[in-house]
């Protein structure tokens, strides 16, 4: 009896599914990321959430495959080939090294990359406007000009801007080069301190004491992992620390003009949906982050020896209150 009811139920569901047509077709999205890391994990979560919001539900009409190479490029290459072999509807590649291995392995499968700062320099696309082949995505190139405007609004007299970065990280180096160029255009100077691993961030930050009026941190993975080290130096030496991503404001930076990797993932997810709905990545221009929210932390500013103006706090989307 129970069996028959079940069978009737399954039959009815199948009929309903047939009625809905291709909405019930199961699509496959394969996501590869080079390493587990809060920012990259947030991208992954963002992609999945956006897919769900736009009607692609895992286990229902969507299968998501996800692998991390744990920072090992040989494994990244095998993951890329595994995914190509499974021929999913879209491959999502998070961060430059993963995107390059997927690009080398995938011929005809649509690829959407995410968290790649310089897709042209990484040879993923021939131009940002018209990628051409089977690859497009979202670039995490920072709106450096807007960030510098924000920094100058808080500290109009700052001339020497310090930054800590990992010279071994492709994304970080692109940003630091750009930063140097843009600061020079404003008659300002960039003071660089290199840290090749998280344990070197503290020492590198200390080298900026007396050399920099303010510190600005890009989305460098190594440095952001150890942002507390920079912030502690900023507090002790009275050098305000600004960040490119909003999460670091919660950890004690003075202010950031919104870059949020979760939203970055949501935007990536939106591009994935377009591909699932039939768009060709080659016709989709590379996108950059479109939402910019100001986050400020007045208590942190106090600890670093400056006071944030009322109108700046008024403009902030979020005022972080941590008294430590």
Partner 1 sequence: MLSEIAFYGAIETGLIYGLVAFGIYISFRVLDFPDLTVDGSFPLGAAVAAVLIIGGWNPWIATGAAVLAGMAAGAVTALLNVKLKILNLLASILTMIALYSVNLRIMGRPNIALLTEETVLTPWYNLDLAYHQVPVLLFIIVVVVSLILLWRFMKSETGLAMRATGANPRMARAQGIATGAMIVLGVALSNGLVGLAGALFAQSQGAADVTMGVGVIVIGLASLIGGEAVITPSTVVRALLACVFGAIIYRLAIAFALNADVLGLQAQDLNLITAVLVTLAIVLPGVRSSVIGKFTRNKA
Interface contacts to partner 1, rule CB under 8 A:
36, 67-75, 77-82, 84-86, 96-97, 100-101, 103-105, 107, 121-124, 126, 167-170, 172-173, 196
The least CB distance from residue 71 to partner 1, in Å, is 6
The least CB distance from residue 320 to partner 1, in Å, is 32
The least CB distance from residue 277 to partner 1, in Å, is 26
- Cβ proximity to partner 1, 172 vs 308, nearer residue: 172
Residue from 117, 118, 120, 85 nearest 102 by CA: 85
Measured CA to CA, the distance from residue 324 to residue 304 in angstroms comes to 13
The least CB distance from residue 317 to partner 1, in Å, is 33
- Cβ proximity to partner 1, 84 vs 158, nearer residue: 84
The answer to whether the beta carbons of residues 244 and 171 sit under 8 Å apart is no
- Cβ proximity to partner 1, 154 vs 201, nearer residue: 201
The least CB distance from residue 132 to partner 1, in Å, is 11
Measured CA to CA, the distance from residue 174 to residue 121 in angstroms comes to 9
Q: What angle do CA 306, 312, 316 make, to 5 degrees?
A: 115
- Cβ proximity to partner 1, 221 vs 297, nearer residue: 221
DSSP tag of 219: S
Measured CA to CA, the distance from residue 282 to residue 185 in angstroms comes to 34
Q: Scanning the structure block, which residue is given the tokens 């030496």?
A: 237
Measured CA to CA, the distance from residue 102 to residue 202 in angstroms comes to 35
- Cβ proximity to partner 1, 220 vs 260, nearer residue: 220
């Amino acid at each position: 009896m129970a069996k028959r009811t079940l069978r009737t139920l399954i039959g009815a569901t199948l009929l309903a599914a047939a009625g809905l047509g291709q909405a019930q077709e199961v699509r496959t999205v394969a996501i590869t990321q080079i390493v587990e890391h809060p920012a990259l994990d947030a991208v992954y979560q963002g992609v999945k959430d956006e897919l769900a919001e736009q009607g692609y539900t895992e286990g229902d009409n969507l299968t998501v495959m996800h692998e991390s190479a744990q920072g090992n490029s040989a494994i990244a290459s095998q993951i890329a080939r595994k995914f190509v072999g499974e021929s999913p509807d879209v491959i999502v590649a998070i961060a430059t090294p993963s995107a390059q291995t997927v690009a080398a392995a995938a011929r005809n499968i649509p690829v959407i990359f995410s968290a790649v700062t310089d897709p042209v320099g990484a040879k993923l696309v021939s131009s940002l406007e018209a990628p051409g082949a089977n690859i497009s995505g979202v670039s995490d190139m920072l709106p450096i000009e807007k960030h510098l405007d924000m920094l100058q609004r808080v500290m109009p007299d700052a001339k020497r801007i310090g930054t800590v970065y990992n010279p071994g990280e492709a994304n970080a180096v692109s940003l630091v080069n750009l930063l140097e160029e843009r600061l020079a255009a404003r008659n300002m100077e960039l003071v660089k301190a290199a840290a090749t691993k998280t344990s070197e961030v503290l020492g590198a930050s200390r080298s900026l004491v007396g050399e920099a009026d303010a510190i600005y941190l890009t989305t460098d993975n190594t440095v952001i992992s150890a942002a507390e080290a920079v912030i502690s130096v900023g507090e002790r030496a009275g050098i305000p620390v600004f960040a490119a991503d909003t999460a670091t404001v919660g950890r004690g930076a003075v202010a950031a003009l919104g870059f949020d990797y979760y939203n970055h993932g949501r935007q990536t997810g939106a591009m994935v949906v377009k591909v699932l709905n039939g768009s060709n990545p080659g016709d989709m221009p590379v996108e950059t982050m479109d939402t910019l929210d100001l986050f400020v932390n007045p208590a942190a500013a106090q600890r670093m020896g400056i006071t944030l103006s009322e109108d700046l706090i008024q403009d902030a989307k979020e005022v972080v209150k941590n008294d430590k």
